[in-house]
Amino acid sequence: MRRTITAAAMVLGLIAGSAAAQTAAKSRPALVPVQVMVLGSYHFGNPGRDINNMKADSVLTPQRQRELERVADALAKFRPTHVMVEMQSKEPDLAIAEYRRFDAKMLASDANEIVQIGYRTASRVGLTAVQGIDEQPGEGEPDYFPYDKLEATAGRLGKTPLLQSLNADTGAWIKSFEAAQKGSSVGQLLLQMNDPRGPQGKMDYYYNALAIGDRDDQAGADLNAMWYLRNAKIFSKLMLIAKPGATEPARVLLVYGAGHLFWLKHFARHTPGYIDVDVTPYLKRAR
């Protein structure tokens, strides 16, 4: 009997505690969510680090520089309070020291989209810092893109044709994009790159790769999991800097390789306290 009474008291206590917590939550002012606008970019400087690499026209020509000025003007309309880019930083606030040296000479000599879009836009709106929130494996950490393992498993299981087909589809899209550079402005190219209907806006490559594996060696699943993990860590770094507040909302312009577009927008859309802002209307102003 005593046990029954004690259990009932515990249940009543939990109900009362839950009701009190709900009342307290209602009495607190709602926090203003962080607005996150992800700009997926092609790599201006051709680093050659991807499985399928794109040959980009030089963005250092006078014409391309004028187009990038229009892009920065358009993105500045978002009034970002933070600009974050695909670079690592060891600083407590994840600031990039290089940005402090940003000037016209850097724009004229460094083709990287971090400089050409990230730094340029941050400077345009008067930001004193740009954050680097990239995540790369350190010693003892997993490979966030275990493609070598995927390739080996595909060979062992006779699924190399499937992997070749996936790469061929991506390669064909890249060739089409390369050809589009001849008659398109940077703003128009970025619009194409951020189209959610394109391969960079979906996960078809990764999800089709799930078929590469067997009972004990699920290399396709590993590739998916590790790519998710890297992007989750990237977004968690964003959350260290830009947090929901009580007054003016934080507005983050996130300039990243377009291959990250799907997951970074996913986190912005689904993480409580954060809102995904579509970059398309801003890029349309830069055409």
pLDDT band at 200 (very low <50, low <70, confident <90, very high): confident
Report the pLDDT value the prediction gives residue 52, as an integer from 0 to 100. 60
**What CA–CA distance (Å, rounded) separates 272 from 188?**
32
**What CA–CA distance (Å, rounded) separates 187 from 174?**
17
Report the pLDDT value the prediction gives residue 13, as an integer from 0 to 100. 56
5: pLDDT strictly greater than 90: no
By CB atoms closer than 10 A (0-12, 13-18, 19+), residue 70 is: middle
pLDDT band at 246 (very low <50, low <70, confident <90, very high): confident
pLDDT in tens, 59-87: 999 999 999 999 999 999 999 999 999 99
For the record, the structure tokens of 156 come out as 């062992």
Lowest-confidence region among 51-60, 121-130, 178-187, 203-212:
51-60
The mean of the pLDDT values for the chain is 91
Residue 37 to residues 108, 136, 141, 146, 150, Cα–Cα distance (Å): 26, 22, 29, 28, 32
Report the pLDDT value the prediction gives residue 109, as an integer from 0 to 100. 97
pLDDT in tens, 158-186: 999 999 999 999 999 999 999 999 999 99
* Residue 32: partners with Cβ closer than 8 Å, 6 or more residues away: 244, 245, 246, 247, 248, 249
Percent above pLDDT 90 for the chain: 79
Threshold 0.85, pTM exceeds: yes
Q: What are the helix (H) ranges across the chain?
A: 2-27, 62-76, 104-109, 113, 120-124, 147-156, 160-180, 186-193, 204-208, 219-241, 261-270, 280-284
**What CA–CA distance (Å, rounded) separates 5 from 125?**
64
pLDDT band at 198 (very low <50, low <70, confident <90, very high): confident
